[in-house]
Amino acid sequence: MSELETLTVDVNGFATRVWRKGSGPKLGFLAGFGGLPRWVPFLDELAKSRTVIVPSLPGFPGGDRGHSVLDTHLDWLLAVRDLLARAELDGADMAGSSVGASLVAEMAALWPASVRRLALIAPFGLFDEADPPTDPWAQRGDAVPGLMCADPEIWKALKAVPEGANSIEWPIEQTRANEAAARIFWPLGNTRLEKRLKLIQAPTLLIWGEKDGVIPRSYAERFAKDISGKSDTKMITGAGHLAELDKPGEVAAAIIDWTN
């Protein structure tokens, strides 16, 4: 397994971080709510058998203030399309979590040739009045860790200020990640992705944390029903919304298995 490389690509004039590690066929990953302020064990699991490539989404950690020029949904989709091409992920297998999963699904719907096989972990993008997602932006600060992960300590460790980091800029960057997610998904998380799911031809694995407190499990069925490509759903016991953080080994194994 090769060492972790940190590359920078330009998206709309913003320097955007791309992580790359491992060997073997490429596998892209777009992070979920809150982004990835630091490398996580889940990515090491993927890198054991694949070249894992992790571009930062605009406004998320590593994505500078790239969100600030994206005013419409089309702006977002074109920025992500550009980002994936610059990260050399055109035509690769793609995985995504939460907000990132929603954008991976969009790429597969609109540019079918740009992805091979898909793995989506609890994507944003739909809204069912009878079973609404939890509002992640109307939470007391102390409720967020337990909302994102089944084990709140995992989220806290992800977001803790590392030794030597700028103690002012670090929290601003974490708030910016929540803002960027809000910019595309406020207020309901509904981007009308439902209308585009039928365009997805790629074989798609849906992964859901059994304890996901953000996106109801019923949404897995809605995705599975509307996606045109073949699909399968895997529940991860003991995992919350960001299942890849709670159960890195299991989630990575499911993705590797699906995309091999």
Residues that bind other proteins (CB under 8 A): 67-68, 71, 137-141, 143, 168, 171-172, 175-176, 178-183, 186-187
Q: 26 or 67, CB closer to other proteins? A: 67
Q: State in angstroms the smallest separation of the CB of 127 from other proteins.
A: 13
DSSP state letter for 41: H
Closer CB to other proteins, 164 or 175, in the complex: 175
Going across the sheet that includes 51-55, the strands are 5-11, 14-21, 51-55, 26-30, 92-97, 115-121, 204-209, 231-236
Minimum distance from CB of 64 to other proteins (Å)?
12
CB of 132 to other proteins, least distance (A): 14
The nearer residue to other proteins, 10 or 169, going by C-beta atoms, is: 169
**Is residue 127 within 8 Å of 188, Cβ to Cβ?**
yes
C-alpha radius of gyration, the chain, whole number? 16
Structure letter (DSSP) for residue 190: B
The pair of structure tokens assigned to 201 is: 């031809």
Give the three-state DSSP class for 163: coil
Among residues 113 and 172, whose Cβ is nearest to other proteins?
172
Both structure tokens of 238 = 């003991």
Minimum distance from CB of 130 to other proteins (Å)? 19
